[in-house]
Amino acid sequence: MPQNQHLLDNIAIILLEPKYPENIGSAARAAWNMGISRIIVVAKEYPDHGRMAKLATHNALALIDTMEFHESLADALKPFSQVIGTTARRGRHRLPGNSPREVMKKILPLLPANQIAFLFGPEDRGLTNDDLKYCQLRSAIPTADFSSLNLAQAVAIHCYEIFHAVVHEQKDITPAPKIATSHEIENMYTYMEDSLSQIDFLQDKSHTYYMRNIRQFFSRIRLESRETNLIRGICRQFLKHES
């Protein structure tokens, strides 16, 4: 096993509402070839095993057999400290995406102590703004004519960049400490949202706008668990006082 390859165990590929089971199989095959052993699918119904296995091939079949399944994206993301949303879409309310290589430079120091998720959206529409609210980083694959790639291609490119960075670049990185999980962060946002609503800071017309900006602000800060607990505790006491 190449040096540092064990760090790939801290990375998961999450497929949100994939339309075709065959694409899950192709994604599993790409992940397996690059040493990534964790595939998570979020959907309303469990995909057809036979159709997934057909494209996974024999070697990657183990990833299909051990694949995690969730009906809720929030539940699937609970253990992860950093979530990278992969998207080619642009919009007024979207942060600019980094290339996969730039993303790896940002997350390499986190890998020894944190679980990292790469989130891929449905083939026909990609990730929505509501999906991306869970993501601290965005990854966009540069192409010659700015066209989008299919799901299996996007997964394969990201898996290669992950493998290359971990095996060839990780040895010179100073590890970062363990940071808060998505579950802890989302709990903090819930208390913040309740507190700001209590003082009418979040009006009907501006609610989504301000919460999006609050999330973008905190996504640039790598909060530790104790810090999210502190903010949540302040909000909880505020809510008690106001009631």
Tens digits of residue pLDDT in 118-160: 999 999 889 999 999 999 999 999 887 766 689 999 999 999 9
Q: Supply the pLDDT for residue 209.
A: 85
Do residue 104 and residue 132 come from a single domain? Answer: yes
Phi, psi dihedral angles at 135 (to 5 degrees): -100, 135
pTM of the model: 0.91
Q: Supply the pLDDT for residue 173.
A: 73
What is the identity of the amino acid at 149? L
Q: How many domains does the chain have?
A: 2
Q: Supply the pLDDT for residue 198.
A: 87
* Residue where one domain finishes, among candidates 172, 204, 219: 172
* Residue where one domain finishes, among candidates 172, 196, 213: 172
Do residue 202 and residue 140 come from a single domain? Answer: no
CA dist 78 and 229 (Å) reads: 16
Domain with residue 70: its CATH number is 3.40.1280.10
Q: Supply the pLDDT for residue 242.
A: 64
Residues in the chain predicted with pLDDT less than 50, given as ranges, are 93
Q: Supply the pLDDT for residue 202.
A: 77
The range of the structural domain enclosing residue 206 comes to: 182-242
Phi-psi label, residue 57: left if phi above 0, alpha if psi -120 to 50, beta otherwise = left
Do residue 109 and residue 195 come from a single domain? Answer: no
Q: Supply the pLDDT for residue 168.
A: 83
Q: Supply the pLDDT for residue 149.
A: 82
Do residue 122 and residue 238 come from a single domain? Answer: no
Q: Is residue 177 part of a domain?
A: no
CA dist 177 and 22 (Å) reads: 38
